[in-house]
Structure formats: C-alpha cells, structure tokens
Amino acid sequence: MPHLRMKKGQAGAILELLELRGRKSDLVKSRRDDLYKMVKWLNWRDVPDKKAELLKEWNLQEAQVHAMFSRDGETLRLVDDAYRLVEDL
C-alpha cells in the first residue's frame, strides 16, 4: 500500500472525515465541509495569493478558518448519535 505524505494537521482532518462516513445529518454535512476546507487550507496557507483566494472563495476570514480546527469531532459524533437515537424513538 503506498504512503501518502501530508502536512501537519491534514492527517487528523482526513481521519475525522473517514470516521464521518455513513452519517447524513446536517451537522455532519457541515463538519464535513469544514474538514475539506481545513485540508485545503493547510495545503495552501504558505502561498499568500492562494491563501487570499481561498478566503475570498469561502467568504471567510482567517480567524474563522482557525476556529474550525478547535471544534471537537468526537463531540460532534456523540451529538449525531444522540439525534439518531431520539429519531428512532
């Protein structure tokens, strides 16, 4: 199996994306979008023009992108599980 080299932080986001497979709630969809943005941000943040282009494309400020990193994926999964349990009742 080939190895994939990633910049710091990208691996964690990719692993979280993999853990969210099969979940379809709006909360999970939003987090999935955030994770895609995080991976792309980590890949291009060193290039000033691309960094500015991404922020403009996403209509976000740099602080908002950094806030995505502080969200806890485990908490999101627990909340999603709780929603699914309530729906089943």
Give residue-wise pLDDT tens across range 10-25: 888 888 888 888 888 8
Distance, in Å, from the CA atom of 45 to the CA atom of 66, rounded to the nearest integer, reads 11
In a domain, 9, yes or no: no
The yes-or-no verdict on residue 89 having pLDDT over 90 is no
Which structural domain range is residue 46 located in?
Answer: 24-88
Please tell me whether the overall predicted TM-score, pTM, comes out greater than 0.85 for this model.
no
Total number of domains in the chain? 1
Q: What is the pLDDT of residues 31-83, one digit of tens each?
A: 889 899 988 988 888 888 998 999 999 998 988 888 888 777 777 788 888 88
In a domain, 44, yes or no: yes
30 band by pLDDT with thresholds 50, 70 and 90 = confident
Tokens of 15: 């692993």
Q: What is the pLDDT of residue 2?
A: 62
| Burial (Cβ within 10 Å: 0-12, 13-18, ≥19) of residue 51 | middle
